Structure 1
């Protein structure tokens, strides 16, 4: 509702604009009532009626050039602006116009005498609902009036806000929402913004998904001249939560108040409907979390302190669920998730709780490694990497340390350890890198492929002789992939012996 206006220098008047201003000047000269607000009450002392009387006197003397010129220089400011405006018609031409940038856009007007610029703009554009108000900003402020500018006229209410039906009908049409007869958007459930227009006795209901970048209160009050054009509106936000648990004491049963500073910014038109809702949601969550309550919420579903229901309602991998379950079991938490996707929740929690979450599924060494070396990954990927590294460590701990190995033993050991620690796909990649340069190595490769269940799919890459020998080696390869402890070294030696490799492995001393 800011009123700061910037003015530019004079410029030559386009003929169409000149014609329009001269026609309005003539109409005002004949009838000053067309610009002035209608009174909603018969006030004994009315500044507007007093001004109209003076304007009528000026109108009666409009053919007297000297008296009209004198009226533009002294007296009631709005009467001076009126005299200056109707003098345009008397002159019959407007050589130059000034321009001003206003909150409603740029506007051109004719300057006359020492009349106030806002008043000149308002009177010369009395057919524009918003520019018209510029003539009444000061009188509304001085006499504590509420002046409503409708499409065709203005209406003055002297005893506080009292929105006329005509104004209500006009202004609601400017809102960017598809509202029903009860002024509600199509979505009745979930979080919503409620704007109660007190004197109009209506409440505008807009949900989060419908909320746009516009400011509803700013729009509704955009054609009101008053000390505080927004004093007729009450704002509230309901999170629209669905209760899915029974709690002895509910910390969110009542609507939370909007932060006064946030509300003030909204009423000044600095932020939009959707930004208000978003920032309120952030403040609301911080308020609940700082209160120390154990609470679990997913979007618009509240599970109270029921951890199990909360975890069941989330979607993610088994390791993600396990990590989150251990995290919330370690103490009383207040967790508010924007949706049911665990990766998104992890992103929200990561800044403050990354180490604590990872510690539930990995050793301190693994946690430190992931947090220092894998910062390029998203939180859910870092968690998966911690699970992978921890699995790698656990499996390798079950395998013996072997002394220096030959090329065939090293190849078989590499495939077997990769399969055990990272799975079939990783083992396949290792096998694809080197199929061997001789008959025995290629037969070993086929045997290991068959042992992980991919022999048939890769058969076209091998000769009949290589597949026949490889098929003989499959039982030895499977035993290696299943072996642990010292049996692993024995299984590797058996495979090497069966393949004809002149190598043998020994345990490190």
Structure 2
């Protein structure tokens, strides 16, 4: 009824209408008979598509064709020789996106601005400012309210992509959760701009990290404020989600380039506060010693998700591992077996060796001892190094006669752990052990000469005449 509706409505003051020639052709078609329509339909342009479509009403359809655009398949009938996109546009005119195909050759060649809304197209000529009715239309199509996704309406502090549509004076904000497309490319289904890259700007707003506490000087401030290049995004080569991901990567890269030993763990920046990191990690004693050593040494940022003490230690182990073990274990570091062990396990062994050396330095050294004295000495040293668990292991590993069992029972009494073990000892062994308990108690407490004296007295009380230095 009105073939001219396929052309955009004019909202500009162009000296010359870019659609004048096409409009003249379409006006001729309006009242043409079948013969003239057939002639017009033999062309390739939009007027030919209109003529062919009018002929379809009164003639047999040659055949149907289908074309998939995006996720939608569009069906159209062929009549005449018009190009497929022209037939698609005319026969699917109710679709604001598809109707644009009918004039894309003209608007791209002439570099003019055209917008498609619910029931028509609007031409703005060389004016980049969109028609007032287009903005609410395209925002609704994008599922946005006040230029924002539903999550941003509730929480404006969420990390999001911010798109500035400069000629429209509009800002669009879409959070990470809703970032599933390229919003600019989705919008351009409904309008044509010859200068997209100049008219849109994109950046990411949000927090790469949270602050554990306010520092006197923020070492990463400049790094986190740098934005990523938006050209690939505006050209449609990446989507919203990828653009946000690239921002995270760029910020991390900017931070990693810094020559500052700052600590960013699980999205929280601790600055250079080693104590705060230790408090977060809750490491064992041996892990804490190693962590402090490393954190004091590094001069580049430590950035880690799902951080654990062992994960941090593993990151720097190749560089600092041997030095840490040497510092902890001293001359005994080479004795520590480390094959197939995690750093935390190696450190535990080094720490145990360190504690062992601390204990042993307060005790006298013996070249050789009588068997009974040697057994008592082994139990006492084991207890000082590894507590009851290590002492009972020594006892259980020993093949014992009556006197050794008496010594063992004496230590169990001194440990206050005899209950549960009594059944293994005869009444005589237990009585003997009670007489030796005084010396066992001294052996787990005394140092130096007093330790040696207690050991000699215990040996003598067993009935031995041997001297431990004899």
SS state at 1:391 partner:
helix
Q: Is 1:289 equivalent to 2:256 in the alignment?
A: yes
* CA deviation profile, 1:376-395 (whole Å, cap 9, x unmatched): xxxxxx33213212123324
2: CA distance, partners of 1:483 / 1:447: 16
SS state at 1:129 partner:
coil
Contact 2:439–2:454 (Cα < 8 Å) also in 1: yes
How many angstroms does 1:121 deviate by?
A: 1.9
How many angstroms does 1:278 deviate by?
A: 2.6
The equivalent of 2:154 in structure 1 is 186
TM-score, scaled relative to structure 2: 0.71
How many angstroms does 1:198 deviate by?
A: 2.0
The equivalent of 2:173 in structure 1 is 205
Classify 1:300/1:343 alpha carbon distance in 2 versus 1 (closer, same or farther; 3 Å): closer
Classify 1:447/1:45 alpha carbon distance in 2 versus 1 (closer, same or farther; 3 Å): farther
1: CA distance, partners of 2:97 / 2:269: 45
Q: Is 1:142 equivalent to 2:95 in the alignment?
A: no
SS state at 1:196 partner:
strand
The equivalent of 2:325 in structure 1 is 362
Contact 1:239–1:300 (Cα < 8 Å) also in 2: no
SS state at 1:90 partner:
coil
Classify 1:245/1:124 alpha carbon distance in 2 versus 1 (closer, same or farther; 3 Å): same
The equivalent of 1:57 in structure 2 is 28
After TM superposition, the structure 1 stretch with the greater mean CA deviation from structure 2, 140-149 or 218-227, is: 218-227
Q: After TM superposition, list the pairs within 5 Å mapping 1:196-345 onto structure 2.
A: 196-207=164-175, 210=177, 212-227=179-194, 229=196, 231-240=198-207, 244-247=214-217, 252-253=221-222, 256-260=225-229, 263-293=230-260, 295-297=262-264, 306-308=272-274, 311=277, 314-319=280-285, 320-338=287-305, 342-343=307-308
SS state at 2:221 partner:
coil
* CA deviation profile, 1:97-139 (whole Å, cap 9, x unmatched): 2222323433332233332222222222221232233323332
Q: Is 1:44 equivalent to 2:15 in the alignment?
A: yes
2: CA distance, partners of 1:246 / 1:200: 41
Contact 2:67–2:75 (Cα < 8 Å) also in 1: yes
Classify 1:322/1:348 alpha carbon distance in 2 versus 1 (closer, same or farther; 3 Å): closer
* CA deviation profile, 1:168-220 (whole Å, cap 9, x unmatched): 32333354678787984433336443222223323233455x45433333333
1: CA distance, partners of 2:81 / 2:325: 80
SS state at 1:47 partner:
coil
Q: Is 1:385 equivalent to 2:345 in the alignment?
A: yes
Classify 1:245/1:453 alpha carbon distance in 2 versus 1 (closer, same or farther; 3 Å): farther
Equivalent in 127, 145, 148 of residue 94 of structure 2: 127
Structure showing greater Rg? 2
CA RMSD of aligned residues (A): 5.2
Number of aligned residue pairs: 451
Contact 1:163–1:199 (Cα < 8 Å) also in 2: yes
2: CA distance, partners of 1:331 / 1:475: 52
* CA deviation profile, 1:61-88 (whole Å, cap 9, x unmatched): 1x41x3222212226x222222233332
The equivalent of 1:73 in structure 2 is 42
The equivalent of 1:91 in structure 2 is 59
SS state at 2:171 partner:
strand
Contact 2:263–2:269 (Cα < 8 Å) also in 1: yes
Contact 2:148–2:173 (Cα < 8 Å) also in 1: no
Q: Is 1:33 equivalent to 2:4 in the alignment?
A: yes
How many angstroms does 1:357 deviate by?
A: 4.9
Contact 1:297–1:337 (Cα < 8 Å) also in 2: yes
Contact 2:383–2:444 (Cα < 8 Å) also in 1: no
SS state at 2:97 partner:
helix
Structure 2 spans left out of the alignment, 5+ residues: none
Q: After TM superposition, list the pairs within 5 Å mapping 1:106-121 onto structure 2.
A: 106-121=73-88
How many angstroms does 1:452 deviate by?
A: 7.3
Structure 1 spans left out of the alignment, 5+ residues: 1-29, 375-381
* CA deviation profile, 1:419-454 (whole Å, cap 9, x unmatched): 935x77x759969x9999999999999998887787
Contact 1:196–1:204 (Cα < 8 Å) also in 2: yes
Contact 1:307–1:328 (Cα < 8 Å) also in 2: no
The equivalent of 1:105 in structure 2 is 72
